[in-house]
Amino acid sequence: MKRILAVGFGGMAGSLLRASVYMAVTGGLGLWIVNLVGSFLIGVAAVRLSRQSAELRLLVSTGLLGSFTTFSAFSADWFHYLESSIWWGVAFAGSMTAACVASAAAGLWVGRKGVAS
């Protein structure tokens, strides 16, 4: 039960943070910000929280950061771009995916640098 509550409380906080970013940043930039920042922080958390309790890892990674980032908005935007042009859709999906994977890799690298110090 503690693990479910950890995910729930983290998810509530993450979704509120995402909504705050969307309110502060207009246009499609909000989606890029939450997905890139969230991917980076998930990379850092994967290293930094690896020896912490399962509840803390679930709270931060699955709950907070999982709800802060958003695959559903990414998918909706992707379909919007696909409707206008297959090439815009492919460019959007490819660039967002590559950028988020690179951001998570950078987070892993930063997390490992901090642990090694």
Q: Which residues belong to the annotated binding site for Na(+)?
A: 66, 69
Cβ-in-10-Å burial (0-12, 13-18, 19+) of 88 comes to middle
* Residue type (1 letter), 78: W
* Residue type (1 letter), 53: S
Q: Which one, of 27, 102, 39, 24, lies nearest residue 70 by Cα?
A: 39
Q: Which two tokens stand for residue 29?
A: 């930039």
Q: DSSP state, 27?
A: T
Total count of residues recorded for the chain: 117
Binding residue ranges: 66, 69
